[in-house]
A and B are shown apart, each in its own frame.
Chain A
Amino acid sequence: MIQVERLAFAYGKTQVLQDINLTVQPGEILSIVGPNGCGKSTLLKLMRGQLPPGQGRILWQGQDIATLNRRALARMAAVVPQSTPVHFPFPVRELVMMGRYARQSGWWGASTTDHQAVERALAVTDTLHLAERPVTQLSGGELQRVLLARALAQDTPLLLLDEATSHLDLDHRLEMADLLVRLNREQGTTVVQISHDLDLAVETSQRILLMNGCGEVVSLGQPHEVLTTEHIRQVFRVEVQVETNPYSGAPRLYSTRSISNWQAPPRIHVICGGGCGGELLRRLHVAGCQLSVGPLNRGDTDLELALALNLEVAKEQPFCPISAQALEESSILCRAADVLIIAPTVWGPGNLSCLELAREALDRQQPVLLIDPRPDRDFSGGPAWNTLQTILDGGGEVAADVEAALERLKRPTPTGNGQPSG
C-alpha cells in the first residue's frame, strides 16, 4: 500500500531519519514505536506528503507521492493528528463534515452519502451526543474522538494515527483499539499508528516498527519478534521481562526495575569525567541518592551537570592534571560516602591519581563499584588498567552498565561496612 524506500530526512543539519525502508501491506495494522523525538511523527508526515523527503521516495500504490495532489491523497488516507488547538467554535457535526471535503465536488450542500458517513462516524466514536456542541467546549478525550470521527468520515482505505489515543480514558482507549481492529477486519482498512502505549500497540498490531533515538529502524516484524528484552534495552535502556498476555496471546512487557524498594538511599561518591558520568549522576540523583563528585576539571560536562544538580564537587583547574589538593578534597568527600562508584571514564596520566581514592576506599572496607571497566579506556600506557585490576582483586565489584549499577546498589550489600540499603 505504501512503500518507503531508503528514506532519509533532516531538519536543517539535524538528521532525523536515516535509511528507512518500509512496506505497509494492505489490510494490516502497523504500529510505529520508539522513544520521544526519534522521528516517528516526522516519518508519518513524510509518509503522507506533508514534508518533502531529503533522500529516497515514498510510493502510494505504486505512485510517487510527490506526483499526487492533496485531494487524491485525502481520498486514500485519513489522519488523526496528535492534538490540534481549536480556536473556532465549530459544532462537532460540522467539524466531522470537514472530513468529507475531498469527496465533495460542489461547495454548497452535502450529499446524503456525506450525511450518512458523518452520522456513522459520530455513532461509532461515541460522539453522537456531542454533535451540536462547539468543539471549543470539549475535553481533550472528547476532542480526540471527534478528530477520529472526522478521519472515519473521510472513508479512506488507510488510516494514519499520530498518538491518537494519548488523551483517552482507559475505556475509550480500549474501545478505539477495538474499533480500529474491527475496521481492519471488516473493511480491510489499513492502519498505521504511532503509539506510546506499547501494550495496546502490541495487542492490536500485526506488525511493529521499532525506531531508536537516532531515527533508525531497529526492528520491523511481528510483535514477538520486535519486542524482545534486547531490543527494549537497546532502545529505551530499560530492563523488561517479556511474557505472554494469557488473554490475548500477545507479548507483554514487565519492567524489572524496582522503583520503590529503596527506603534509605545511600550516600555515593562518583569518580567520572569527560561526560561519561552524566547518565549515572542523573539517575542516581533522581533515585534520591546523596551524591558527591570529584575530582573534576572545570569545563567538564560532568562538572556542569553536577553543579546543575547542586552536588558537592571537588574541582580542578581546566585541563590540568589532578592536584594533591583536589585529591584531598575528593578523599574527604569519598570518606563521607557509603559507596564509591567509578564511572567508565578514560584514564590518562592526568587523572590516574584518582584511582588512589578507590584503593583507599577498599582499605577502609568501603564498597567500590566499577562500571564496565575496560583496558581500551587506558591511555596511560598500562598503569591505569593495572590499578583497576588490583582494585578488582581487592574486592571492587563490576556492573555492566548504569542500570546494573542501580540494581546492585538496591540489593543489601554483602561486603564492607557501608549499609546503603535500609
Chain B
Amino acid sequence: MSGSTAHRSWLWLVILGSALIIALLFSLWAGTLPMTPGELFAVLSGDASSPTQHAVVWKIRWPRALLAALVGAALGSSGGAFQAVLRNPLADPYILGVSGGAALGAVIALTLGIAAPLLLPMAAFCGALAALALVYWVAQAYRGSPHTLILCGVMVGSLASALLLFLLWLAPADQTRTAIFWLAGNLSSADPQLLGWTGLGAGLAFLSLWSQARKLDLFTQGEEVAADLGLAVGRSRLLIFACAGALTAAAVAIAGLVGFVGLTVPHIVRLLWGPAHRRLLPASALAGAAFLMLADALSRSLFAPAEIPIGVVTALLGAPFFLYLLRRREGNL
C-alpha cells in the first residue's frame, strides 16, 4: 500500500475511462449484424459505406449502449451508497426489497392493462419507493440496526415477489410472458424520450448523492461515531435513501431486474480505489456503466440472433464473483 493516494486515483480514473470506451465500442460492434472493427470505425468517423450498418450502429446500438450505461451507472452508485449507510457488504437494492417493489409496481400496471410507455416505468418507480419506505418504516422500530434493516428488506422483497407471482398466476398467458421478460431484465425498450427523461432524473439523483459523499464516509464509521463527528444521522440517512432509491427505481423502471451490479461494482471499485465516496460514487457509476454495456453486448452476441435476458448475464458474472469475495474477505468489505 505504498505510493500516494492521489497518484493511484488518477491511474484508476484512466483505467476506468479506457474500460468505459472499450465497453462502448464493443457494445456498438457486437450484435446480430456482423461488422469488422474497420467498418465500425468507418461508421463512427462518418464515412460508412453501408447505410444499413450506419442505421444499426446509430439508431439501434447507440441508444441501447446509452441505456445500458445509464442503468449500470445508476445501479452501481446506488449500491455503493446503500452499502455505506448500512455498513453492510450485503446491502444492495435487491436485498433491500427496492427492486422487488419496483417489479411489483410494474406487474400491477401490466395486470391492470396499462401499457403506455411512460406509465409503466412510473408504476415501477412508485413501487420501488413504496418498498423502500416500508422497509425503512419497519426498521425504524428497531432504532435503525443495519441487520434488522437488511432482514426487513428481505421480508419486503419476499412479500413483493409473492404478490408478483400471484398476479402472474392470475394474468393471461401473453401478459405473463411480457412480465417475466421484463423481470429478467430487458434493455431493448430504448425509447429516446424515455431514456432522456429517466437519464435526467437519474443524473439529478446522482448529483445529490455525490454531494453527500462525506456524509457517506461518516456513515461507514457507524451511526454513533458519525453523530459524534457532527452528522445529523437521521436526516442524512433519509436523504441518502431517497437519492439511492430514486437511482435504483430509475434503473429498474427502464430495464427491469438487473441484479448484482449494485452489489458487485462498488466492491471492486473499493478494492481498487479505496472507500472514500467522493471517488467511489463516480467510479462506481463509470464501472457500472462499463460493466453493463459489456454484459449487454454479451447478451446480444453470445446466442445471436437470440438474446439472453440481461439480468441472467449479470447474475452469471456477478454472483460467483461476489461469493468468492464474501468467502475471501470473510464478510468484511
Residues of A within 8 A of B (CB): 48, 50, 69-71, 73-75, 78-79, 81, 84, 86-91, 94-95, 98-99, 101-102, 104, 107-108, 132-134, 136-137, 150, 154
Contacts and interface: CB of A to CB of B under 8 A. Distances in A.
Q: Which 10 A-B pairs have the closest CB atoms?
A: A74-B230, A102-B230, A88-B275, A88-B220, A79-B228, A71-B230, A87-B333, A101-B229, A70-B232, A101-B230
A87 B4 CA distance: 22
A154 B224 CA distance: 16
Q: Which of B5, B213, B228, B333 has the most CB of A within 10 A?
A: B228
B2 interface: yes
B228 A78 contact: yes
B46 to A, nearest CB: 38
Contacts of A89: 270, 274-275, 333
A88 B333 contact: yes
22 contacts: A48-B228, A69-B232, A70-B231, A70-B233, A73-B230, A79-B225, A81-B228, A84-B225, A87-B87, A87-B89, A87-B220, A87-B332, A88-B220, A89-B270, A89-B275, A90-B217, A90-B275, A91-B5, A94-B217, A94-B274, A98-B214, A101-B218
A373 B332 CA distance: 58
Nearest to A134: B1
Contacts of A94: 5, 217, 274, 276
Contacts, number: 87
A79 B333 CA distance: 25
Contacts of B4: 132
A99 B2 CA distance: 24
Given A88-B220, A134-B1, A98 B333 contact: no
B222 interface: yes
B135 to A, nearest CB: 22
Contacts of A150: 229
A71 B228 CA distance: 9
B230 A75 contact: yes
Given A88-B275, A132-B1, A136-B332, A50 B228 contact: yes
Given A98-B217, A154-B229, 5 more contacts: A84-B221, A87-B89, A98-B221, A101-B229, A134-B1
Contact of B276 (A90, A102, A104, A133): A90
Q: Which of B221, B233, B333 has the most CB of A within 10 A?
A: B221
A132 B332 CA distance: 20
Contact of A108 (B217, B229, B278): B278
B227 interface: yes
A132 B5 contact: yes
Contacts of B233: 70
Nearest to B278: A108
Interface in B298-325: none
A52 to B, nearest CB: 12
Nearest to B224: A50
Contacts of B217: 90, 94, 98
B331 to A, nearest CB: 9
Interface of B: 1-5, 84, 87, 89, 211-214, 217-218, 220-222, 224-225, 227-233, 270, 274-276, 278, 332-333
Nearest to A160: B228
Q: Which of B84, B211, B224 has the most CB of A within 10 A?
A: B224
A90 B5 contact: no
Nearest to B5: A91
B274 A90 contact: yes
Contacts of B218: 98, 101
A155 B217 CA distance: 19
A137 B89 CA distance: 18
Contacts of B3: 132
A156 B42 CA distance: 63
Contacts of A70: 227, 230-233
B232 A71 contact: yes
B317 to A, nearest CB: 24
A91 B6 CA distance: 12
Contacts of B84: 88
Contacts of B275: 88-90
A70 B231 CA distance: 6
A102 B4 CA distance: 26
Contacts of B232: 69-71
Nearest to B2: A132
A216 to B, nearest CB: 25
Nearest to A49: B227
Contacts of A86: 221
A137 B1 CA distance: 10
Contacts of A101: 214, 218, 229-231
Nearest to B210: A107
Contacts of B230: 70-71, 73-75, 101-102
Contacts of B211: 107
A81 B225 contact: yes
Contacts of B87: 87-88
Contacts of B221: 84, 86, 95, 98
Q: Which of A70, A75, A81, A154 has the most CB of B within 10 A?
A: A70
Nearest to A108: B278
A137 B2 CA distance: 13
A74 B229 contact: yes
Nearest to A69: B232
Nearest to A94: B276
A87 B220 CA distance: 8
B267 to A, nearest CB: 12
A50 B234 CA distance: 13
Q: Which of B2, B218, B229, B233 has the most CB of A within 10 A?
A: B229
